[in-house]
Amino acid sequence: MKAAYAKAMEALYLVCVTIAGLCIVAMTTVIPWGVFTRYVLNSASSWPEPLAVLLVIIFTFFAGATCYRANVHIAVGMVVDAMPPAPQRLAYQTRDALMALLSVFMVIWGVRLVEATWYNSVAEFPWLSVGVSYLPIPIGGLVTLLFVIEQVWIGPPGPESFIHREPISAD
C-alpha cells in the first residue's frame, strides 16, 4: 500500500512540476508580447497582464506543493539541524502538522471561494469564471495535503525519486 501511494505521489509530483513549468514558459511568452504591442506597435493588448496573473496563481500553488515534497521550501534549517534528535523530530512533526492544517484550510475555504465566485466572470476574459481562476487554491491545498500524508506516513521521497535525479548534461 505504501509503495503504491509513494508511486502515485511521484506521478502527482511530475504532473505538478509540469504544470508549473508550462506556466513559467507561458508567462515568459505572454509578458514580452504585451511589452511588444505596447511599445513597438503602440497598441497595448489588454489580455497579457491578466493572463500572466492567472498563470502565476496556478504556478504558485502547484510549485509550492512540489517544493514541500522536495523539501526545498523556505525554511530555516540551521536551528533545527543543530537540535538533538528528539527535539528535531518534534520540530518536523510540528512542521507537518501545520502544513496539514494549512492545506485543509486551503481546501475548505478555497472551495467556498470558488463557489462564491463561480458565476462572476473575469473582466478581461468574459468567458472565464472567476471561480475557475480560484480553483488552484483548493486543488493546490489538496495536493499539498497528499504530500504531507506521504511525508508523515512514508517519509521523504527515496533516492530513486525524480527529485534526486541529476540534470542531463549538455555535453
- Contact by Cβ (8 Å): 16, 63: yes
Q: Which pLDDT score is estimated for 60?
A: 95
Residues 50-92 pLDDT 10s: 999 999 999 999 999 999 998 887 766 777 888 899 998 998 8
> Which residues make beta-bridge pairs with 129?
121
How is the chain split into domains, by residue range? 2-161
HSE on the CB side for 87, CA within 13 Å?
6
3 state SS of 126? strand
> Which residues make beta-bridge pairs with 122?
125
Cell, residue 48: 497579457
